[in-house]
Structure 1
Amino acid sequence: MAIAGDLHGDWLDDDHELLIQLAPDGVLFVGDLGEADVRLVKAIKNLNIPTALILGNHDRGYDLTGELLRLQLNILGNIHCGWGLRNWQSPKIAVVGARPCSAGGGFYLSPEVVGVFGPITLQESVNRIVLAAEDACEAMPLVILAHSGPTGLGSDADSPCGRDWRLPAVDWGDKDLELAIDQIRKKRIPDLVVFGHMHHSLKRGNKARKTFFEDRWGTIYLNAACVPRRKLDKDGNILHHLSWVQFLNGHLDYVSHRWFRNDTSIASEEILLNRSNRSLV
Structure 2
Amino acid sequence: MSDRQFEQQSLTVAVVGDVHEQWEREDAEALKALEVDLVLFVGDFGNECLRVVRAIADLDLPKALVFGNHDAWYSATHWGRKKCPYDRLTEDWVADQLEITDDFHVGYAHLDFPEYGLSVVGTRPFSWGGPEWKYAEFYRDRFGVNSMEESRDRILAAVRETSCDTIIFLGHNGPYGLGSLPEDPCGRDWNPIGGDFGDPDFQEAIAATRQLGKTIPLVTFGHMHHNLRHTKQRQRRSTHVDATGTLYLNSACVPRVIVTETDVKRNFSLVSLENGVVTDARLVWLDRHFQAIAQQILYENPGKAMRQLA
Aligned positions of 1:91-110 closer than 5 A = 91-110=116-135
Partner of 2:161: 135
Partner of 1:213: 240
Q: How far apart are 1:23 and its partner, in Å? A: 3.4
2:171 to 138, 146, 153: 146
Identify the structure with bigger relative contact order (alpha carbons < 8 Å, sequence gap 6+).
2
- 1:64-104 CA deviation, whole Å, 9 max, x = no partner? 57932111101100311001110013433210000000010
- The answer as to 2:242 corresponding to 1:230 is no
- The answer as to 2:44 corresponding to 1:32 is yes
Question: Aligned pairs, how many?
Answer: 277
Task: Letter of the 2:292 partner, please give it.
Answer: I
Q: Specify the SS of the correspondent of 2:103.
A: helix
- The answer as to 2:195 corresponding to 1:170 is yes
Task: Letter of the 1:230 partner, please give it.
Answer: V
Task: Letter of the 1:53 partner, please give it.
Answer: L
- 1:177-232 CA deviation, whole Å, 9 max, x = no partner? 11111111212331111000000000112120000000011111000000111225
Q: Which has the larger radius of gyration?
A: 2
Distance 1:109 1:73, change over 3 A: farther
Partners of 1:69 and 1:116 within 8 A in 2: no
Task: Letter of the 2:146 partner, please give it.
Answer: I
Aligned positions of 1:1-281 closer than 5 A = 1-63=13-75, 67-110=92-135, 111-139=137-165, 141-186=166-211, 187-206=213-232, 207-231=234-258, 236-275=262-301, 276-277=304-305
Distance 1:160 1:248 in 2: 25
User: Normalised by the size of structure 1, how large is the TM-score?
Assistant: 0.92
Task: Letter of the 1:221 partner, please give it.
Answer: Y
Gaps of 5+ in 2: 1-12, 77-87
Distance 1:63 1:32 in 2: 14
Partners of 1:62 and 1:112 within 8 A in 2: no
Distance 1:51 1:88, change over 3 A: same
Distance 2:120 2:242 in 1: 19
Distance 2:225 2:112 in 1: 29
Distance 1:89 1:262, change over 3 A: farther
Gaps of 5+ in 1: none
Task: Letter of the 1:130 partner, please give it.
Answer: L
Distance 1:63 1:129, change over 3 A: closer
